[in-house]
Amino acid sequence: PSHYDIQVKTVRASNSYVFMHKSKFPLESWRWLALVRLVPSIEVYLLPSLLWKSDNRPSCLKDRDYINLKSKPEWGLDIRSRTWDELQLFSFEQQIPRFHKLTVAS
């Protein structure tokens, strides 16, 4: 890819839910989510959008279509205390070497 789109979401509480409308966050190899945790300290997680399609995706990743309801279809992260352990693989420190390999290979 010639560029990467990174959508940024922030959370303050340990128990939170963030989402991206499917129409604005289609799952593509060049689209990523940066999740910024502000409390108790600042932590950044980088999640490739294709993770939502993966059979091995973390349990906190949600696919909600809301058929026949008012809400628009969305990709979500249901964040609980145990979720942060699940997301460590996607911490900024873990992802940057992988991200760098992707950009060099392109």
Q: Which residues pair with 10 in a beta bridge?
A: 36
- Coil, strand, or helix at residue 31? strand
Confidence at 106, pLDDT banded by 50, 70, 90: low
Q: Where are the alpha helices (DSSP H) in 1-106?
A: 83-87, 92-105
Sign of torsion, CA 67 72 74 80? negative
Calpha distance 87→67 (Å, rounded): 29
**pLDDT digits 0-9 by tens, 76-104:** 999 988 888 889 889 998 888 776 666 55
What's the pTM value of the predicted model, to 2 decimals? Answer: 0.85
